[in-house]
Structure 1
Amino acid sequence: MTVTAQSRLTAGALDFYHDNGYITLPRLFPAAKFDALRRRFEAALGALPDDVRPEDMDVPHFTDPELFEWLLDPGVLDVVEQLVGPDIALFSAHFFCKPPGDGKSVPWHDDAYFWRETISPAERAITVWLALDPVSEENGCLRVLPGSHLPGARTYRSVGDPDSVFAEELDPACVDEADAVPIELAPNECSIHASTLIHGSRANVSSRRRCGFTMRYISTDVRFNHEEVGDRHQIYLARGVDRAGNQYADPTVPNPALVAHRGTGQNYVGARRPGGARPGSG
């Protein structure tokens, strides 16, 4: 499927997305623009404090407004518009980096479950998952269950694995791993998935790093719960007009105080994790 962010999704591509809950695209950005994003990530990774895991580089755009050059890229928004409509808000972003040898796992989950306190309906968010490194089964690529974005009963339980990124996971009775599809990507390729799609990723025990940049979007008729979570999160109008009375932040103004308020180990969008982070797509 030869779709890029600079072209329209074909009818076949849209049908595949609606049937399966995800799609993959090659070459999201022009080469020079992708290389600039990767350099920006490497600088951010190099500046991490010693006590912060590289998996926890959530909401980097809150303190680095230059990232909006990629997050609000017109070609990316052209693709997003075909999935959420013409009025678009940037919901969140995340550099998700699994270092070689001890990169943490992400248990089976759907994003909407963890975002239900932040946006409503959370089922209408999408994630663009851009590979910054070569991503394969060996180094812990995203794995998805095709068709699992459709409504169905789901039960969560606590995670006992100390190497897991977060503390809740779908009950194994809700997951048939035999149906799992690995999303292997070259740098600058991406996948897009619905917030209700069941997905996860294994730990990275390989000798190769695995990093992706997630860009998350909603229609502006999705309600952002600013009253409850505005002290630790904010959204941005990306295209079109507001439809839900939302409050939008200024992308030119960094907000380090908001990041600080999220606290150590509270780096993910969504419901609070007991003693740890908020989950996101991994």
Structure 2
Amino acid sequence: MLTHQHMFDYQRDGYVVLPDLFSQEEVKRMIEEIERGEGVTQSHQRGPTDASGRNSKLAIWHDLRDDIWSAASIAPKVVNPIRILLGEDASFFHGKVMLKEAKSGGAWEWHQDYGYWYGQGFMFPTMISAFVALDAATIENGCLQVLRGSHRLGRLDHGKVGTQTGADQMRLNQVESMFERIYCELRPGSVLFFHSNLLHASSANESDNHRRSFIMCYTAASNPQLTEDGVRLRPSCPVGDDDAILRY
């Protein structure tokens, strides 16, 4: 599914989009799982507040289970592009469902994922996220924004913005104009793959439409994680089959 052009774009821009990677039936099943409130989404946590005090809901987990989310996370159509973009075998890190609800979902401040994950002990930024749009992601409902090519900056210092962790505002003010801001409007089922050092944010949802998403995060299998007990290497991500989601 990935072309040489996709790989070139990812190296240059820090992200690439694969439209309609998940079918509408698969998206429908995932939304039904959210609305039933079962499994990992049964106790939605209130996400950290943004600078204005608003928040979004999220559910997060760090292991693979017998559920629809894990079936998606080990699907070949996800894992194989991850491996290709990383340039090596991948390990599952975590998954999360994010609920930016109509008229209430808060913003996510500018940050790099590795700004968080560095603090969790990962030695290298050879890490990647796969962002799945479950509802249409639009400018009006707070779609993801990225600074194209900003992953080449390396890791920036991060600190508290509201109760979120955000990129150093002084450095952000200095560099923001050097990169093109892209609004990642996505159809349901489309997937945005992006580098862990890519600066990204999203605005609050002031629209009448939900903006729900599912994000799968991976690290290169060779990327050591420093822990209190020593150095850890995560196991390689198993690979399932592309039809598994429809069995849930």
TM-score range normalised by the length of the shorter chain: 0.7 to 0.9
- Counterpart CA distance in 1 for 2:64 and 2:80 is 23
Q: Where does 1:69-148 land on structure 2 (aligned, <5 Å)? A: 69-148=71-150
TM-score by length of 2: 0.79
Residue 43 (1) aligns with residue 42 (2): no
Residue 191 (1) aligns with residue 192 (2): yes
Aligned to 2:246: none
Of 4, 18, 30 in structure 1, the residue corresponding to residue 23 of structure 2 is 30
Aligned to 2:12: 19
Q: Alignment partner of 1:136: what SS?
A: coil
- Counterpart CA distance in 1 for 2:96 and 2:79 is 17
Q: Alignment partner of 2:37: what SS?
A: helix
Q: Alignment partner of 2:236: what SS?
A: strand
Q: Which runs of 5+ in 1 are unaligned?
A: 1-6, 241-282
- Counterpart CA distance in 1 for 2:235 and 2:35 is 25
- Counterpart CA distance in 1 for 2:159 and 2:45 is 28
TM-score by length of 1: 0.70
Q: How many residues align?
A: 226
Q: Alignment partner of 2:125: what SS?
A: helix
- Counterpart CA distance in 1 for 2:167 and 2:198 is 14
1:213-266 Cα shifts (integer Å, max 9, x gaps): 00111111012345469xxxx9663149xxxxxxxxxxxxxxxxxxxxxxxxxx
- Counterpart CA distance in 1 for 2:45 and 2:9 is 42
What letter corresponds to residue 196 of structure 2 in structure 1?
A: S
What letter corresponds to residue 182 of structure 1 in structure 2?
A: Y
Q: Which runs of 5+ in 2 are unaligned?
A: 48-55, 240-248
Q: Alignment partner of 1:222: what SS?
A: coil
- Counterpart CA distance in 1 for 2:37 and 2:180 is 36
- Counterpart CA distance in 1 for 2:69 and 2:145 is 26
- Counterpart CA distance in 1 for 2:112 and 2:149 is 12
- Counterpart CA distance in 2 for 1:221 and 1:153 is 19
Q: Between the two structures, name the one with larger relative contact order (CA 8 Å, sep ≥ 6).
A: 2
Q: Is the 8 A contact 1:37 1:70 kept in 2?
A: no
- Counterpart CA distance in 2 for 1:107 and 1:192 is 19
Q: Is the 8 A contact 1:104 1:203 kept in 2?
A: yes
What letter corresponds to residue 106 of structure 1 in structure 2?
A: W
Per residue, is there more strand in 1 or in 2?
2
1:172-197 Cα shifts (integer Å, max 9, x gaps): 44242673110001100111100000
Deviates more, 1:216-225 or 1:146-155: 146-155
Percent identity between matched residues is 24
What letter corresponds to residue 188 of structure 2 in structure 1?
A: P
What is the root-mean-square deviation of aligned Cα atoms in Å? 3.0
Q: Is the 8 A contact 2:146 2:198 kept in 1?
A: yes
Aligned to 2:236: 237
1:90-113 Cα shifts (integer Å, max 9, x gaps): 111110111111111111111111
Deviates more, 1:116-125 or 1:67-76: 116-125
Cα 1:146–1:45 change in 2 (3 A) is farther
What letter corresponds to residue 220 of structure 1 in structure 2?
A: A
Q: Where does 1:245-264 land on structure 2 (aligned, <5 Å)? A: none
Q: Is the 8 A contact 1:155 1:174 kept in 2?
A: no
- Counterpart CA distance in 1 for 2:91 and 2:38 is 26
